[in-house]
Amino acid sequence: MGRKILTAKQYASEIRVGNRFVLSQAITLVESTLATSQNLAQTIISSLLPHTGNSLRLGITGVPGVGKSTFIDQLGMILIQKGHRIAVLSVDPSSQQSKGSILGDKTRMQRLSQQDSAYIRPSAAGSHLGGVAQQTREAILLCEAAGYDVIIIETVGVGQSETLVRHMTDFFLLLMISGAGDELQGMKRGIMEMADTIAINKADDGNEQAAQVAKRNYQQALHLFPPTPGKPQPKVVTCSALHNQGLHEIWKQIQAFIAATQASNYFQQQRQQQQRNWMHELINRQLSQDFFQQERIRKILPQIEEEVLHGSITAREGAERLITLHRNC
Amino acid sequence: MGRKILTAKQYASEIRVGNRFVLSQAITLVESTLATSQNLAQTIISSLLPHTGNSLRLGITGVPGVGKSTFIDQLGMILIQKGHRIAVLSVDPSSQQSKGSILGDKTRMQRLSQQDSAYIRPSAAGSHLGGVAQQTREAILLCEAAGYDVIIIETVGVGQSETLVRHMTDFFLLLMISGAGDELQGMKRGIMEMADTIAINKADDGNEQAAQVAKRNYQQALHLFPPTPGKPQPKVVTCSALHNQGLHEIWKQIQAFIAATQASNYFQQQRQQQQRNWMHELINRQLSQDFFQQERIRKILPQIEEEVLHGSITAREGAERLITLHRNC
């Protein structure tokens, strides 16, 4: 069982011919904190870059219990039948206080995980949001180079991870269930605004009426948000992933959305904006790291922190002193 | 009606003697984007620094409809009767897409707004989260110097603003109402974890039973989170702000929490941590601004962005090129 060490070129060509094992290894390199692994990963990605970007990047979110796994399993099967190749990636940055991975269990998508045309990657156990976002973006590129043409990036509806996923996808689907009052709509305001479609799942087994009520409520709520130029108004639909009802319609809606946004150029602009923002974020992270690693900053930082902590100077004054020191060198 | 221009020293002394008009003017300086106003604001704050920090900083959040205004109005009246002086500040960063201020209406707290011992400041119309956070932190300091000993910072339960407010307060109260299913609990996971107390409001007018059920549900949910060393386990209570039921108990709970966390030193550590983090955030913001204002970066940035946008290099490569250019100069 000796493990052959591949060159970047070998990685790239194996990924291109659809070697899933090597794809997984490359994603592991992306997730590694070792400099050598990181460098290898970057070389692989750079050489694969001409083969990326040709997928539909589909974000799916919803709180635990809405039936996300069943939905993705079912939608994935439909897409495979239509000849697509599906990759499913998860973004599940642990919340700040409790560490714990909600997503990432392959067995959640029982049928899809057995398909040759599907690749399911469990969630990276990332410690900080920025790292997880970077890893996921690079995993998307690798999956695209491997020929997957629908990349599903799923996350869980608890806040910041939604924004991350929204910022790396072309279409954002919010899964909900019926039975929530007005207060839930308020709660979701920030997330609802990101959604291109809201699907009320579990509209089955006597729950159909409630789903219709929820649908109307969410439709009303969506009317409160101003339309985005170049982009169709978000829609609300009901579905039952369990009984495979409504999923074909959702897929049609997604296709119509993509066609409309490509025609209006919104699709292209959104991708470019995402790339631009991401580069800026990477720069900002690097600047911060460089700053705090400086010898002179590391020397004086504890003393200035002390003054800030004891309230003899404000945080702003402390920041200004350090910045001044940095500039004068 | 000529408006006298005050010196920093005059500002500081007027604030110290409780001149609310001058306090408001100083907060307006803090919120200004003019460099001269900013400098004046910083001089005022620096000179007032010895008189800050002696308040209880109380964060209150809850989605629209939970009765936040009535709750704060009622709690404020109770505290005034106990001899406290109350300042109410709002954090309402507009969501990324829809601009609009939910909070900030003085008339929402009808009784409190008429009290000499209460100061209510409408929400700053901040465009970006970092700016709003900075303004609110400095407004807290100014209110403390003006002798307000309970500073209530309210926000609305839609995501990032919660984290901001959590990071500048000693105690965080989450207002909820009954009638929400399991999915709401999931939705609130990120926010529930931040709460020191969850209060189920509107436990009145036939809604008492449902509130008790909600209380049990939230208590169960809270048990899922690991305890924080040095800090009492979060509690769930029911109340009716409208009928002034349960608010004295909540205040007692807050006092017990403060006493316990001061005894364990958690209180002090949390404040210090907040200050330290804030200084780092200010530094990071400044570094980014400096970087992108550099002549050589501004010159080459469009070209590198172009390459990133056309997919000939990755965002990471673009970032690395710019950083290298910056380092070599």
Q: Place B179 in a pLDDT band, splitting at 50, 70 and 90.
A: low
Contact B62, B157 (CB under 8 A): yes
Which residue of chain A has the CA closest to B224?
A98
- For B203-245, what is each residue's pLDDT tens digit? 998 889 989 988 887 787 677 666 888 999 999 999 999 999 9
Range of weakest confidence among A158-172, A269-283, B51-65, B301-315: A158-172
pLDDT mean over A82-102: 69
What does the pLDDT read at residue B93?
A: 61
Task: Provide the token pair at A325.
Answer: 């020191």
pLDDT over threshold 70, residue B55: yes
Chain A residue nearest residue B282, CA to CA: A319
Q: What share of chain B is helix, strand, coil (3-state, %, to 5)?
A: 55, 15, 35
Cα(A88)–Cα(A72) distance, rounded to whole angstroms? 8
A118-128 pLDDT tens trace: 999 976 655 56
Burial B175-200 (b: 16+ CB within 10 A, else e): bbbbbbbebbbbbbbbbbbbbbbbbb
Residues 68-87 of A with CB under 8 A from B: none
**CB contact B227 to A (< 8 Å):** no
ipTM of predicted complex: 0.78
pLDDT for B112-149, tens place per residue? 999 999 999 976 655 567 778 889 999 999 999 999 99
Beta-strand ranges (E) seen in chain A are 56-62, 86-91, 118-121, 150-156, 171-177, 197-201, 235-238
Closest CB from B53, B305, B311 relative to A311: B53
Of A97, A134, A284, the CB nearest to B284: A284
B286 in contact with A, Cβ within 8 Å: yes
Mean per-residue pLDDT over chain A, rounded: 86
CB–CB contacts below 8 A, A to B: 203
Task: Give yes or no for B318 touching A (CB within 8 A).
Answer: yes
Q: Given CB atoms, is A227 within the 8 Å cutoff of chain B?
A: no
Cα separation, A4 vs A224, in Å, equals 57
pLDDT of residue B296: 93
Residue from B189, B294, B310 to probe the interface with A (highest A Cβ count within 10 Å): B189
CB contact under 8 A, A317 and B275: no
Calpha distance A162→A171 (Å, rounded): 12
- Residue B107 is given by DSSP the state G
- Please report residues of B whose CB lies closer than 8 A to that of A65: 182-183, 186
The residue among A280, A305, A329 with the most chain B CBs within 10 A of its CB, best to mutate, is A280
